[in-house]
Amino acid sequence: EVGSDAEGGAATSHGGEAPPSPPEATTPRGPLLASRSTPLLMQTAPILDCPPVKRLWCIYGINLPTEVSYFLKERNNSLMLDTRADKYSGKACKENPAGLTVKGGIGFEVPSTPQPIANTEPCSGDGTVPYCSLAYVKEWKRRMETQGFSDREFEVVELEGVEHRAMLSDNSVLFSIMSFVCEPPPRSPLSQL
């Protein structure tokens, strides 16, 4: 029960004390929710931790138009795409803060889209997965480097224009995979002549 105190601020029915904290969710690795001194956004859910492996190679495509948002309107008690939002395409404004390309009420990141969350140059995803999700592996690499895991091998390969669903038939992807898993053949003495 919340009321108003004499100065117009919110007052609780707990005798002036802070309300009790909600119970913390737990995982096998400990509490999931933050304490009052550590904001929840500063913590990492266990699923986002670096994988416990010695060697990790991440290969993904970049810089294709990728759906990242939807402009909606209500009509007849249902939601539908708002094509009027197309007029904000490529313009950073209140309605389109990131200046996304908008087509048919769908917001796309494109190669010129800023990526402040990923802390990189402008970029876009692989046509299916947004760049900030693809590039999360760079956060793993940063953590490994700052936490002293020098015994781990970690490579990130971003391939220009490689589409998510077509990756396994793309020669640049296959070459990257082969360069990771195969050793180059030894040079023959004849090749030195």
Tens digit of each residue's pLDDT, the chain (193 residues): 333 334 333 333 344 444 444 444 443 434 444 444 445 555 667 777 888 888 889 999 999 999 999 999 999 999 999 999 999 999 999 999 989 999 999 999 999 999 988 778 999 999 999 999 999 999 888 888 888 777 888 899 999 999 999 999 999 999 999 998 898 777 777 666 6
Strand partners for 133: none
The residue among 114, 122, 161, 139 whose CA lies nearest residue 58 is 139
Tell how many helices (H) and how many strands (E) occur in the chain. 3, 11
Indicate the residue type of 7. E
Q: What angle do CA 125, 131, 135 make, to 5 degrees?
A: 130
Strand partners for 64: 126
pTM for the model: 0.69
CA distances in angstroms from 30 to 38, 43, 143, 175, listed in the order given: 15, 12, 20, 42
